[in-house]
Structure 1
Amino acid sequence: MVYLLAAVNLVALGSLTTPVLAGIPLKIDDLMPADQRATALATVLTLGGLAALISNPLFGALSDRTRGRFGRRRPWMLGGAVAGLIGVAALSASDSLPAIMVSCVCIQTAFNAILATAAALLADTVAESRRAAASGVFTAAAFVGVLPPLVLTALLPRHVDLVSLVMPVAALAVVGVAMTVPDRASSALPTAGRGRRQTPVSRAFAAVWLQRLAMQSALSLATAFTLYMIIDRMTSDPVAATPIAMIAAVAGGAGIVIGAAFGGALASRLHRYMPFLVCGAVGLSIGASLRAVADVPIALWVASAVGGLAVGAYLAVNLALAMRVLPEGRAGTYLGVLSITETIPQVLVPLVAAGLMRLGQGDPFSGASDNYLVLYASAAVLALLSLATLPALRAASRPHRAIDARSAL
């Protein structure tokens, strides 16, 4: 069951990859003059980001309140898969900027509905003792999901519209199989009279949320403008810089997958979460620090791998801890809110990163005007600052206390 829900996560994230990275930019390039395409693309992607920001918690909350013969989560997963396939097909047929905008919003809304309800269904059905391991598999699958569309797009650059449909079709098939996962349709809705007793749990969830936001922001800062850094520090040639950047991305992604899978499994075996949160933050800080002084490809690749391993282990345990402190019957709402921590950095971090690189007297390693040392050092500091939330998570990280808190609601 865990692997089936992880497969849902994989195909949902994979379905977003080709449209966002290639389909929409190419459509806009065909329609818009060269001096207008950057603004048009930024507008479309911003609208899509806002749709993702809203839809994930929205559909999570709706699924908490859904009652019917098919359960709470499954109807929204299936509806998202169908709507997502329609949205991608509409994008392929789009011949105007408004049509592209509508298609992008539809795609983000639909597949985020799948992501929200799959995570909530995982929280509903996985036993407490297995949640860290399950979260590791679930998190790793999300990063694996971007690889097939990237490979297909690279192999078939002239058939992006066709490639864009591959993962949505797979998503419809996988979600169809996932309709067999037990869905607790009879779970009672949370009542107003239980609000006061949920306060300790809500406080712990707020700490989980803040820590994840800090870590996701640090990760975004640590990986921002990598290609430009390689050009300025290592190659002075965009063509030569591209494979170096791709290897760094693969090293970081592989690290996240391995860290999530093995870190989550080990946390479940040890029944301890706090060491993994600490190691994740410290590891990301080390990776960002190595990146801050990297001036040869091997140093960048090592930094990417170290940061990826740390982030993978952290994300698995953070998700498991979030599921542990959820109020009963509110998994969809709370996990949807948790997903916002991934969207906010996508919107804000590029602007913050651009400002940070203007600080100081330029980059001391390359002499370029963009100060990569300040950028990546800021990421290292922010990762360490995420540890400030640990006192609020100490009690929740102990299994017996977390279970007592849940049973008291």
Structure 2
Amino acid sequence: MRARTRAYSAERRTVYLLAAVNLVALGSLTAPVVAAIPLKIDALLPEEHRASALATVLTLGGLAALLANPLFGALSDRTRSRWGKRRPWMLGGTLAGLVGVAALAVADSLPAIIVSWLCTQTAYNAVLASAAALLADIVPDSRRAAASGVFTAAAFVGTLPPLVLAALLPRHVDLVTFAMPLVALIVVGFALSIRESTSHAHARAPKSPATSRRGIRIASFSSAFAAVWLQRLAMQSAFSLATAFTIYLIIDRMTKDPVDATPIAMIATLAGGSGIVIGAAVGGAWASRVRRYLPFLVCGALGLAAGAATRAFADAPIILWIATTIGGLAVGAYLTVNLALAMRVIPGSRAGTYLGVLNVAETIPQVLAPMVAAALLRVGQGDPVSGANDNYLVLYGTAAAVALLSLATLPVLRRASAARVPIEDESGRGSPEHLPADR
């Protein structure tokens, strides 16, 4: 019993360390996006070229992230070193990311900004890919939802310190940009103490129904993983559309003034982000306790659709804040369970590759959603609620419809989540009992 308690304590420490790595890696990418890159472009280029230049830099950075995450996930699967498979990429990505941030700080031309930002994005995505794969390696299936909740919540918390520092120190943005990368060195230094052992997690990993009948692992890009990937793509697309152009919605429907709209938008962002963190942490712990995934996926899709539909008719700040809170809670719970389910159906020896590919489903909407949202705003004869030229009803209604469309994957996901997982007895071995399947 004492040995089991020590093992659980070590596992919790590992989860918190990996969540901290996730936090500092994403935090290191936040300050350049919100402050450093826009200000550098503003100082270098005339006003009429700023928007297009910034869009170019951020789009190329998004494409770098799109490619880097699955690439470094696959490389970590194949790495054999005295440091293990994942830790070399965590450390190397952190060091390279710091170099990229330093290069960005001294960049004095648009090409230099682009190159340094591509290097920074690539480096920290190597960290993110290896940390997610290590989480899948170590945590057993019965506790992956709770671990995924902590891991997912940390990602959104990581964006807050750079935002606060940028607001408090607007004249020292370059120093703010270095804050999280330096903290990342310390956090990753502690994370190097994690033992890379896969036997504990995968010894208790469930088999799919197909595996149980045929004695083989799920094939690459199986129907189960494809369904998980497509649902994440649909939900992330809906979320990106639902959060697009919030500031313009506030101006057109509520304040008619950009200055007065800013605090309303900040509160909406805080409400949505807090909802994601709470939804991820609470939803992950709850899903691990009840050992059912599908109800959380359904509630996530319905909650995001409800939040987007509420936003479509929002004409007062309180309605907008309620909508963003509902959507945040739903997305947090959904992302957590989606990640846990993905770790259940992928081959254990290729966790880095598959989780990197899963991340592509989250990155694609971030790159394309602004353009799609801008096109949707032009559909019809303007906004029926405010009379403005931009049709917010169509934009957020489409987001709600896409969220509901994600439910089309449930028949396949139901079979995958119905895998029978042995419950551990007090000795740490599997007991004859089995977890209830999702109905």
Common fold, TM-score beyond 0.5?
yes
Identify the residue that residue 142 of structure 2 maps to in structure 1: 129
Identify the residue that residue 191 of structure 1 maps to in structure 2: none
Identify the residue that residue 246 of structure 1 maps to in structure 2: 266
Deviations, residues 366-387 of structure 1 (Å, cap 9, x unaligned): 1011000010010001100000
| 2:399 is the alignment partner of 1:379 | yes
Identify the residue that residue 198 of structure 1 maps to in structure 2: 218
Deviations, residues 278-299 of structure 1 (Å, cap 9, x unaligned): 0000000000010000000000
Instruction: Select which of 253, 270, 274 maps to 2:294.
Output: 274
Deviation at residue 359 of structure 1 after TM alignment: 1.1
Aligned residues: 398
Aligned partner letter, 1:342:
E
Identify the residue that residue 97 of structure 1 maps to in structure 2: 110
Identify the residue that residue 182 of structure 1 maps to in structure 2: 195
| 2:376 is the alignment partner of 1:356 | yes
Q: Answer yes or no: is the 8 Å Cα contact 2:301–2:334 preserved in 1.
A: yes
Deviation at residue 276 of structure 1 after TM alignment: 0.2
* 1:291/1:319 CA distance change after superposition, 3 Å: same
| 2:21 is the alignment partner of 1:8 | yes
In structure 2, distance between residues paired with 1:195 and 1:16: 43
Deviation at residue 328 of structure 1 after TM alignment: 2.4
Q: TM-score, normalised on structure 2?
A: 0.88
In structure 2, distance between residues paired with 1:316 and 1:358: 34
| 2:303 is the alignment partner of 1:283 | yes
Q: TM-score, normalised on structure 1?
A: 0.95
Q: Answer yes or no: is the 8 Å Cα contact 2:255–2:261 preserved in 1.
A: yes
In structure 1, distance between residues paired with 2:309 and 2:60: 33
Which ranges of structure 1 fall in alignment gaps of 5 or more residues?
Answer: 188-193, 405-409
- Paired residues for 1:104-253 under 5 Å: 104-184=117-197, 197-199=217-219, 202-253=222-273
Deviations, residues 66-122 of structure 1 (Å, cap 9, x unaligned): 001000000000000000011001111111111101110011001000000000000
* 1:250/1:240 CA distance change after superposition, 3 Å: same
Instruction: Select which of 85, 97, 102 maps to 1:72.
Output: 85
In structure 2, distance between residues paired with 1:349 and 1:128: 33
Q: Answer yes or no: is the 8 Å Cα contact 1:201–1:327 preserved in 2.
A: no
In structure 2, distance between residues paired with 1:40 and 1:285: 34
Deviation at residue 394 of structure 1 after TM alignment: 0.8
Identify the residue that residue 21 of structure 1 maps to in structure 2: 34
Q: Answer yes or no: is the 8 Å Cα contact 1:210–1:389 preserved in 2.
A: yes
In structure 2, distance between residues paired with 1:108 and 1:276: 31
Which ranges of structure 2 fall in alignment gaps of 5 or more residues?
Answer: 1-13, 201-213, 424-433, 435-439
Identify the residue that residue 329 of structure 1 maps to in structure 2: 349
Q: Answer yes or no: is the 8 Å Cα contact 2:18–2:135 preserved in 1.
A: yes
Question: 2:417 aligns to what SS in structure 1?
Answer: coil
Aligned partner letter, 1:385:
L
Deviation at residue 200 of structure 1 after TM alignment: 8.3
Q: Answer yes or no: is the 8 Å Cα contact 2:73–2:356 preserved in 1.
A: yes
Aligned partner letter, 1:394:
R
Identify the residue that residue 6 of structure 2 maps to in structure 1: none
| 2:91 is the alignment partner of 1:48 | no
Q: Answer yes or no: is the 8 Å Cα contact 1:248–1:304 preserved in 2.
A: yes
Q: Answer yes or no: is the 8 Å Cα contact 2:64–2:118 preserved in 1.
A: yes
Runs of 4+ in 1 over 6 A off after TM superposition: 401-404
Q: Answer yes or no: is the 8 Å Cα contact 2:138–2:198 preserved in 1.
A: no
Deviations, residues 200-240 of structure 1 (Å, cap 9, x unaligned): 87210110000000000000000100000000000000000
| 2:327 is the alignment partner of 1:307 | yes
Question: 1:25 aligns to what SS in structure 2?
Answer: helix
Instruction: Select which of 256, 276, 279 maps to 1:259.
Output: 279
In structure 2, distance between residues paired with 1:142 and 1:350: 22
Identify the residue that residue 298 of structure 1 maps to in structure 2: 318
Deviations, residues 337-384 of structure 1 (Å, cap 9, x unaligned): 011112101111111111111111110111011000010010001100
Question: 1:210 aligns to what SS in structure 2?
Answer: helix
* 1:90/1:273 CA distance change after superposition, 3 Å: same
In structure 2, distance between residues paired with 1:230 and 1:185: 50
Deviation at residue 318 of structure 1 after TM alignment: 0.4
Aligned partner letter, 1:318:
N
In structure 2, distance between residues paired with 1:83 and 1:346: 24
Q: Answer yes or no: is the 8 Å Cα contact 1:68–1:185 preserved in 2.
A: no
In structure 2, distance between residues paired with 1:73 and 1:93: 31
Q: Answer yes or no: is the 8 Å Cα contact 1:395–1:401 preserved in 2.
A: no
Question: 2:222 aligns to what SS in structure 1?
Answer: helix
Identify the residue that residue 46 of structure 2 maps to in structure 1: 33
Question: 2:416 aligns to what SS in structure 1?
Answer: coil
In structure 2, distance between residues paired with 1:103 and 1:291: 37
Task: State the identity as a percent.
Answer: 74
Q: Answer yes or no: is the 8 Å Cα contact 2:238–2:399 preserved in 1.
A: yes
Question: 1:330 aligns to what SS in structure 2?
Answer: helix
RMSD: 1.8
Deviations, residues 315-334 of structure 1 (Å, cap 9, x unaligned): 00000000000112000000
Deviation at residue 398 of structure 1 after TM alignment: 2.1
Deviation at residue 41 of structure 1 after TM alignment: 1.1
In structure 1, distance between residues paired with 2:113 and 2:192: 31
